[in-house]
Amino acid sequence: MRYSTFLVMVLSIVFVAHLSPASGANIDVQQMTRGGGPVEIEADELSFEKEEQRYEGHGQVEVTRGDLSLKADHARLSMATKDVTAWGNVVLREGEDVLECERLEVNLDTRLGKVYRARLFVKDQNVHITGREAEKLGENRYRVREGTMTTCDDEHPPWKIAVKELEVTLGGSGIAKGPVFYLEGIPILYFPVAVFSVSNERQTGFLLPNVGYSNKFGPEVRTAFYWAMAKNMDATFYFDRLGDNRGRGWQEGLEYRYAFTKDSRGKANVYYSDDQVYGEDRYSAFYKHQQRFPSDFYLKSDLNYVSDNDYPRDFDQNLPEGTSIDARSLKQVRSVVFGGKNWEHFSFLAEGMAFQNLTLTSNDETVQKLPQVSFFAQPQSFLGSPLFLDLSSSYVNFWREQGAKAHRVDLFPRLSYPLRVLDVLKFQSEAGLRETVYRPYGDPPYQENEWKSREIPEATVQLSAEFYRVYDTSASSSISSLFNVAKWMHTVEPLVAYRYSDRVDQDEFPLFDDIDRIPYTNDITYGFAQRLVGKPLREGVESGPREYGKLKIFQSYSLGDPYDRDENGKGRYFSNVIAELWWRFNPYVSAHGDIGISPYDGNVRRFDGVITLRDRRNDALQVEYHNTKDRINAQNSINGINLTGRLKTINPLYLHGSIRYNLKDSVWVDKLVGLEYQAQCWSL
pLDDT tens-digit profile of 525-537? 999 999 999 887 7
DSSP three-state, residue 81: coil
Q: State residue 423 phi and psi, 5-degree precision.
A: 55, 20
Average pLDDT, the chain: 85
640 CB contacts (<8 Å, ≥6 apart)? 625, 626, 627, 660, 661, 662, 663, 664, 669
Angle at 226 between CA 225 and CA 230, to 5 degrees: 150
- Residue 262: name the closest of 300, 294, 292, 218 by CA: 292
Angle at 153 between CA 147 and CA 157, to 5 degrees: 60
Helix or strand run (H / E) with residue 279: none
d(CA 360, CA 17): 70
79 pLDDT above the threshold of 70: yes
| Number of other CB atoms surrounding residue 4 within 10 Å | 23
24 CB contacts (<8 Å, ≥6 apart)? 41, 46, 47, 48, 55, 57
DSSP three-state, residue 322: helix
How many residues in total does the chain contain?
684
Specify the pLDDT at position 650: 77
pLDDT band of 13, cuts 50, 70, 90: very low
Specify the pLDDT at position 142: 81
| 655 burial via Cβ count (<10 Å: 0-12, 13-18, 19+) | middle
- Residue 389: name the closest of 421, 352, 433 by CA: 433
461 CB contacts (<8 Å, ≥6 apart)? 428, 429, 497, 498
Residue 95, CB-side half-sphere exposure with 13 Å CA sphere: 7
Give the whole-number percent of the chain exceeding pLDDT 90.
48
Specify the pLDDT at position 407: 95
Specify the pLDDT at position 11: 40
Specify the pLDDT at position 213: 73
- Residue 69: name the closest of 88, 47, 45, 41 by CA: 41
pLDDT band of 24, cuts 50, 70, 90: very low
Produce one character per residue of 452-478: b if its CB has 16 or more CB atoms within 10 Å, e if not.
bebebebbbbbbbbeeeeeeebeeeee
Specify the pLDDT at position 26: 40
d(CA 501, CA 226): 59
Per-residue pLDDT, averaged over 580-586, amounts to: 86
Per-residue pLDDT, averaged over 36-63, amounts to: 82
Highest averaged pLDDT of the listed ranges 549-558, 653-662, 663-672: 549-558
β partners of residue 542: none
| Number of other CB atoms surrounding residue 77 within 10 Å | 28
| DSSP for 113-137, written as a single string | EEEEEEEEEETTTTEEEEEEEEEE-
Q: What pLDDT, in 10s, does the model give residues 121-161?
A: 877 767 788 899 988 888 778 888 999 888 888 888 888 88
d(CA 509, CA 445): 11
DSSP type of residue 7: H
58-62, 207-211, 556-560: which range is least confident on average?
207-211
The beta-carbon contacts of 612-617 under 8 Å, at least 24 apart in sequence, are 613/588, 613/589, 614/588, 614/589, 615/588, 616/588, 617/648
2 CB contacts (<8 Å, ≥6 apart)? 196
Tell me: cis bond preceding 38? Omega within 30 of 0 counts.
Answer: no
| DSSP for 232-274, written as a single string | TEEEEEEEEEESSTTS-EEEEEEEEEEEEETTEEEEEEEEEEE
4 pLDDT above the threshold of 70: no
* Domain limits, the chain: 4-201, 230-359, 597-684
Do 143 and 169 meet the contact criterion of CB atoms below 8 Å apart? no
Specify the pLDDT at position 282: 95
| Number of other CB atoms surrounding residue 191 within 10 Å | 14
Amino acid identity for residue 623 in this structure: V
d(CA 532, CA 586): 13
Greater confidence (539 vs 406) lies with 406
Specify the pLDDT at position 21: 35
Q: Considering the domain 4-201 in this protein, what is its CATH number? A: 2.60.450.10
What is the radius of gyration, based on Cα positions, of the chain?
35
Do 341 and 347 meet the contact criterion of CB atoms below 8 Å apart? yes
Amino acid identity for residue 451 in this structure: W
- Residue 554: name the closest of 583, 533, 520, 580 by CA: 580
| Number of other CB atoms surrounding residue 367 within 10 Å | 22
Helix or strand run (H / E) with residue 214: strand 210-214
Phi-psi category of residue 331: left, alpha or beta, with phi > 0 → left and psi -120 to 50 → alpha: left
DSSP type of residue 318: G
